[in-house]
């Protein structure tokens, strides 16, 4: 999606690359451990939904080898490589409206995607429908309503301002159709779609360099929308970014709920 479509975090903005890099640093280790636990191996066919950047698709490609395949899709391929220089295929695709791009797949994975997709239930049906019998679906999504603060230790005016801007960011997300309590519903939704062996776990970093980078990139990427909506002033955004640059603030992320489930194997 692009800003013109109403999507708040346009991949074509310069800050998007910084944001994707920070998200990869924060969440790739958790994702990779989970996919290894589910048994990703040579020969698997994988679909990475809403890839954004290359880190997960590249890692998958290394694991499935030349006997397997990885298809990475997104509405915007601005941060995906072009040509034949990669070990995976990249394709423009809208998971909420388009039919599955091939399959069946041994593994379908989406991270921090469906919370932003207005037709998220159609997207879930498409991903489940693309699984082979016995194939795994893994959806990792945020639950901002579960932990709404960016500074969970709100002990001073800088932390209070940071949390004011985070409330504004959440309001903008909700106005654009994001479900701020979506992450916690994933296990139930998986079972409603007939998946078995369903499990889930939560993770959210509380502080660190990547959290600071993510905070700065997110605020810079959304500042015009925050100001236009009357949720913050330019002076407040400038003051917050100056505090971020000085260091010493602890920024947390929204909890990420990682949920997995398996398409029932074929009888016999």
Domains (range + CATH), the chain: 3-146+178-205+254-262 (3.40.50.150)
Are the C-beta atoms of residues 260 and 187 closer than 8 Å to each other? no
Structure tokens at 176: 């654009």
Q: Are strands 69-74 and 89-92 parallel, antiparallel or unpaired?
A: parallel
Are the C-beta atoms of residues 203 and 150 closer than 8 Å to each other? no
Distance from C-alpha of 29 to C-alpha of 52, rounded to nearest angstrom: 17
Output helix, strand, coil percentages for the chain, rounded to the nearest 5: 40, 20, 40
Specify the residue for token string 């997110």.
218
Greatest pairwise CA separation for the chain in angstroms? 66
In tens digits, the chain (268 residues) has pLDDT values of 333 344 555 555 556 778 888 999 999 999 999 999 999 999 999 999 999 889 999 999 999 999 999 999 998 888 777 544 468 999 999 998 999 998 899 999 999 999 888 899 999 999 999 999 999 999 999 999 999 999 999 999 999 999 999 999 999 999 988 899 999 999 999 999 999 999 999 999 999 999 999 999 999 999 999 999 999 999 999 999 999 999 999 999 999 999 999 999 988 6
* H-helix or E-strand spanning residue 105: strand 105-111
Task: Using CA atoms of 125, 129, 130, 133 in order, give the dihedral in degrees to the nearest 10.
Answer: 140
Task: Give the DSSP per-residue string, 147-206.
Answer: S--S-SS--SHHHHHHHHHHHHHHHHHHHTT--TT-GGGHHHHHHHTT-EEEEEEEE---
Start-to-end CA distance of the chain, whole Å, equals 43
Alpha-carbon Rg of the chain, whole angstroms?
Answer: 19
Which pLDDT tens digit goes with each residue over 70-96?
999 998 888 777 544 468 999 999 998
Which pLDDT tens digit goes with each residue over 210-230?
999 999 999 999 999 999 999
Distance from C-alpha of 148 to C-alpha of 204, rounded to nearest angstrom: 12
């Amino acid at each position: 999606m692009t800003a013109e479509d109403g999507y708040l975090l346009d991949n074509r903005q310069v800050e998007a690359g910084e944001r994707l890099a920070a998200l990869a640093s924060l969440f790739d280790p958790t994702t990779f451990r989970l996919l290894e636990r589910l048994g990703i191996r040579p020969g698997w066919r994988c679909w990475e939904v809403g890839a954004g950047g290359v880190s997960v698709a590249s890692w998958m490609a290394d694991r499935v080898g030349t006997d397997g395949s990885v298809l990475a899709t997104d509405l915007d391929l601005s941060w995906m490589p072009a040509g034949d220089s990669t070990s995976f295929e990249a394709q423009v695709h809208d998971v909420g409206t388009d039919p599955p791009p091939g399959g069946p797949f041994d593994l379908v994975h989406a991270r921090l995607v469906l919370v932003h997709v207005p037709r998220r239930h159609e997207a879930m049906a498409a991903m489940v429908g693309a699984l082979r019998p016995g194939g795994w679906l893994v959806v990792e999504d945020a639950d901002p309503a579960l932990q709404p603060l960016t500074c969970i230790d709100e002990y001073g005016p800088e932390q209070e301002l940071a949390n004011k801007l985070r409330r504004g960011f959440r309001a903008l997300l909700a106005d654009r159709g994001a479900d701020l309590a979506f992450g916690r519903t994933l296990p139930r939704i998986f079972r409603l779609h007939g998946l078995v062996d369903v499990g889930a776990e939560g993770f959210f970093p509380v502080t660190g360099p990547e959290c600071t980078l993510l905070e700065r990139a997110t605020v810079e990427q959304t500042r015009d929308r925050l100001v236009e909506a009357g949720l913050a002033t330019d002076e407040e955004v400038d003051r917050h970014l100056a505090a971020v640059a000085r260091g010493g603030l602890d920024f947390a992320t929204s909890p990420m709920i990682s949920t997995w489930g398996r398409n029932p194997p074929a009888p016999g």
